[in-house]
Amino acid sequence: MIVEARTPLKTRIISSLAEINAKKATNTWQEQTHWIKITIPEANQSDLYFYMGCNNCGRKAFAEKGDTYTCSHCKDNKAIAIPRVTFTFTAVDTTGTKKFTIFTKQVETLFGLTSSELHSLATSDDASKLDEKLNHIRSIEVFIEVGPSVALNSSRLLSWVIRNISLE
């Protein structure tokens, strides 16, 4: 007998992209977050951006992949330059669309690969593996938790960032 060892999902109240797009800075507070169920029908390789970053603090590294260097941000003198990645995409639901950029950890969750693995696929002569991944991502439903960006307080211009990403 197969027993599914799955933890029950938290109950999420799902908002829509139209609701998020209609919010104004004056009626949104910093801690307010919303889960939205989206698809990414146009996920493309060209929307992946790789750069080298510190394995300790994640900030930009002026070093080659795998090199040890002294990080000017966290002062780690044994920092190793590792691939970091951003992914910019248009989220789609039945009510609208919205563009987001996600960073290393969230990209790794979405692709189910580490940044290093993703970097290897993206720079490989064999494009088929990354194509397969992107095809899969175009076909699945993704849950994103969005909240106002930290700029909300200073500029009163409301923009949304992804705080969490989940595939179930």
**Binding region for Zn ion (CB under 5 A):** 54, 56-57, 71, 73-74
Least Cβ distance, residue 73 to Zn ion (angstroms): 5
Q: String of b and e for 118-150 (b: at least 16 CB within 10 Å)?
A: bbebbeeeeeeebeebbeebeeeebbbbbbbee
Least Cβ distance, residue 105 to Zn ion (angstroms): 16
Non-local CB neighbours of 65 within 8 Å, separated by 6+ positions: 52, 81, 82, 83, 119
Query: Which residue, 39 or 56, has its beta carbon nearer to Zn ion?
Result: 56
The closest of 63, 89, 88 to 77, measured between CA atoms, is 63
Give the three-class secondary structure for 156: coil
Least Cβ distance, residue 64 to Zn ion (angstroms): 16
The residues that bridge with 51 in the sheet, in sequence order, are 84
Q: What is the DSSP letter of 96?
A: E
Query: Which residue, 79 or 162, has its beta carbon nearer to Zn ion?
Result: 79
Mode of pairing for the β-strands spanning 34-38 and 14-15? parallel
Least Cβ distance, residue 50 to Zn ion (angstroms): 18
Query: Which residue, 20 or 79, has its beta carbon nearer to Zn ion?
Result: 79
Least Cβ distance, residue 53 to Zn ion (angstroms): 8
